[in-house]
Amino acid sequence: MAKVIVYFAHPGHNYSHVNRYMAQAARKIDDISFVDLYADYPRFDINVDVEQQRLRNHDVILFQFPLFWYSTPSLLKEWQDIVLEHGFAYGAGGDKLAGKTMMLAVTAAGPEEAYTSGGYQHHPLRDFLRPLEQTARLCDMRFSTPYALYAALKAPTTGEVEPHVDGYRRLLEAIRDDRYDWKAADSAEVLGYASLPIRKES
């Protein structure tokens, strides 16, 4: 069994269309850790020691957030700034995260066609997540293909909320039970609920 921790970051969770239901689903899954970052640190005073211990205790670190201005919500950025310390996460003696896996579960407001070189976002979604990908690499972690939902604002009208939330639950359970095919996942740029490489048996 892999030890999974989900870091959920959404300052406006009450107005969320998709993330709140994903968080609700994740919270209910047994034997994984779930952290609502904005609930733990409503005043932004992140406890570095506590967070570093959490990272030590888990194998798969999954960040769940909506894409805000092509990046993470600000508290998650603050978390990266102060928790991923020199000597802990990178640099001399900074090998505490080596061999672990970082994964993202993101929602994007724009439709999939917007995230192409011809679309109005001009770049594929994966490009906007490069900073996190490189962060993982610098910490000697595996960066696994993100689980994403496009057009999240319209999801309640297109009926995509339920399958996406259900896919999220299946994904987390598969990772926990070692049924997630990390290798197969690597071949995709971005994964949706229909394309999750989940095996029946571990």
Residues contributing to the site for other proteins (CB under 8 A): 43, 45-49, 81-83, 85-87, 91-92
Nearer to other proteins, 91 or 131 (CB): 91
Q: Please state, in angstroms and rounded to a whole number, the distance separating the CA atoms of residues 51 and 49.
A: 5
Nearer to other proteins, 85 or 133 (CB): 85
CA-based nearest residue to 100, from 112, 110, 90, 92 = 90
Question: Nearest distance from residue 40's CB to other proteins, in Å?
Answer: 14
d(CA 11, CA 15): 9
User: Please, what is the minimum distance in Å from the beta carbon of residue 153 to other proteins?
Assistant: 27
**Sign of the alpha-carbon dihedral angle for 113, 161, 144, 55:** positive
Nearer to other proteins, 112 or 140 (CB): 140
**How far apart are CB 89 and other proteins at their closest, in Å?**
11
CB of 156 to other proteins, least distance (A): 22
CA separation for the pair 190, 107 (Å, rounded): 11
For residues 140 and 166, which CB has a smaller minimum distance to other proteins in the complex? 140
Q: Measured between alpha carbons, how far is 142 from 49 in angstroms, rounded to an integer? A: 23
